Amino acid sequence: MKKNKLSVWTWPYRKRYYLTHPWKWWYDTYWNFRNWWHRGKYGFAYVDVWEWSTWWPEVGAEALRYMAEHGLGYPGCEPWETPEKWKAHLMDLANKLDWCSESQDICAPDEENEYKEEMDKIQEKCHREKIDENGMYHTWLELTDEDKEIRDKYFTREKEIWESYDEKRAEILESIGRNLPRYWN
């Protein structure tokens, strides 16, 4: 059975851990119940607001998929004159909301950054570390001018990617706002 990542009923540790730490199971169960109660009473749980920026698009995507599969109506106006077009729109929008959630991951731009592989090699090659007389741990990179140039290109490209993500998220959420009255069942 597929685990629902939006469920409030979560136990983060393995069953074996709970056998040796039963108090932890009771603690997690207590918070699962509190989240369940809070979501039922107020419409959101404590855990929902921890990462609201990812939770909201994930919930919206699941709701749109449900509406696409089980919906009883459709707007009946341009560009959604048929139920098929409406369903395709809802599924496309759900995928876009999933992207909005995933695009906030700190590692998201790495796939698009053409300098990532070179930067990883530089970090591996130039990494230095030492422990001083006070026991403090220090790490740094000893970079050549060529390495610094690649580093600067890497971070410039990463900034460009993040800005493009921000623009794309804004466009997606703007389209939802423009069409919000049409999302009904």
Mean pLDDT in order along the chain per 10 residues (185 residues): 75 91 93 92 88 92 95 89 94 97 92 93 92 92 92 95 97 95 89
Could you tell me if 83 and 153 lie in one domain?
A: yes
Is the domain of 39 the same as that of 86? no
Task: Compute, in degrees rounded to 10, the torsion defined by CA atoms 84, 85, 87, 93.
Answer: 160
Residues 83, 1 within the same domain: no
- For residues 105 and 82, state if they share a domain: yes
Phi–psi pair at 127, nearest 5 degrees? -70, 130
CA contacts within 13 A on the Cβ side of 1: 3
Q: Is the domain of 26 the same as that of 80?
A: no
Tell me, yes or no, whether 30 and 75 share the same domain. no
pLDDT of residue 175: 95
DSSP string, 104-119: TSTTGGGGT-TTHHHH
Q: How many domains, the chain? A: 2
- Give residue 56's domain range: 51-182
C-alpha closest to that of 71 among 59, 79, 82: 82
Task: Say how far apart CA 74 and CA 91 lie, in whole Å.
Answer: 13
d(CA 121, CA 103): 25
Residue at which a domain ends, from 9, 29, 50:
50
Q: Are residues 75 and 133 in the same domain?
A: yes
